[in-house]
Structure 1
């Protein structure tokens, strides 16, 4: 086993050993499943630990501690897509005064650790995209579409840069899942993949329709919780979603440069560091924000910094974006509002 695996293993083991204290289990049977998972984990039987954690979540689907540990266990088994699904829910969880200071402290720590894991997920997403690029002439269009889904799911930056490909894979998925749309053969996982593609393609209504239909086919309360979470998240504003993305560390400097319409070669190394520092600082502040007002202040601070730097000429807009704003009679501030800032 690698040094990285052992380090992560010890970290998760430590969390599990004290988890009952701060996870606030309500159902004693859920606690039994968790104890079972802990024993399996100690014996390095990760698959059994995963199964026991899933059983615990069927009884307490809103337990962020159980879900965080499940995501870590899946991550350690290289099941990055499932790990992403579970860790993403935890990263979007809000601090709650009702759950106490210790719970909230652990939740903040979990969010930081989740952010640290994103680097490997992004790398794997890049690898998936390279596989697509290498084989895009292949007649196996569905296989290519699934590979692209995996790339976009693991590496958010790729979806911004390759937005046109979303239309292509949407059509492939829709054709392959015609029977599911007709109600004769429901394909759970592929349909949820399509819902995600709709979501990142800004087709909110279509994504909502799939999630609503998926609720008719759930097999347990954990599945219901996950799909309901996805459905509810659709209704969050673009501003809230952008804040979540920054907090999770999914919004990188490159994404920021793309948003600003900047050419990479026009930004100095010094300014790049300023962007990294700004996003890192914003992420830390968001992890500690306990109210919507505090989160709003973080966003306003980012916006103020962007406008100030743009006025100073530190961010040079590319000609295409500059002409677009001039033609529409819009200011930089108008543009930022449209982008959720």
Structure 2
């Protein structure tokens, strides 16, 4: 949306409050011209935002939370992103840093204190704003998520015997990655539902990208689905015992809500830092890559088996269930706090 059109909307509606995200860093400036308080909502993890803002503001200074670090080629990716932000700022291009700075007194994050409490406090100091977690915004399961064929297949599997494999809608795996993941799934001897996606317009037959004979060898143990599957419903199913995930933030929040431990396989953007976080709190194990960022089928096999089957992964499975129970018990507690904070801002208007 162009800023002139947005200005006209604000002028016409005259809302008491504006909530915006980092895609519209200019929105609070326009809201201010109409004396409308504006609050930034960050649909990402506080730990990732904290790490990024620390590195942006303090350069090479050591991050005070040593377990949240980047490794190998993910570190190179991150610094390329930080350098791009710095260049954009010299060209007066607004971005997420400006979006946070212009938020009125508080910044909302899609998270909860039990997951990221220590980072909430540090980011509040860095940003000089109060960081307010809104809790889990994962919606409840409804009939729109139904996929009868997949769900009937899951119904016939043992409890916690299946992994759901999905890497989000914005990353497309290379042929080499597909091959390593396929062999990892095959060697694990764990049931699986694997969602594979290809760029729009590519005429690809999924079976042709998989290793020769893969479909026949895994047989009824595995399902390969192109494009889409009802992720929340699959994660909530009793047969699902693990989530092989790119660690996008929404996927993490869904996994925690439904108590599913994570096989972390981050690809880019915020995902590597998200993977460090869920590993730190004990609900995930990350699949290590080599120095060039390549995946290895043996590592994939070992992590899947640990998270889903082996006794050594029992603590991870228990911790995931504990987070799910905590989210259920808290209900709308965080939202109630958010409402109080926003109501106070509106009173100041």
| Same fold, TM-score > 0.5, yes or no | no
TM-score normalised by L of structure 2: 0.30
Please state which structure has a larger fraction of its residues in helix: 1
TM-score normalised by L of structure 1: 0.31
Choose between structure 1 and 2 for higher RCO, CA contacts under 8 A separated by at least 6 residues: 2
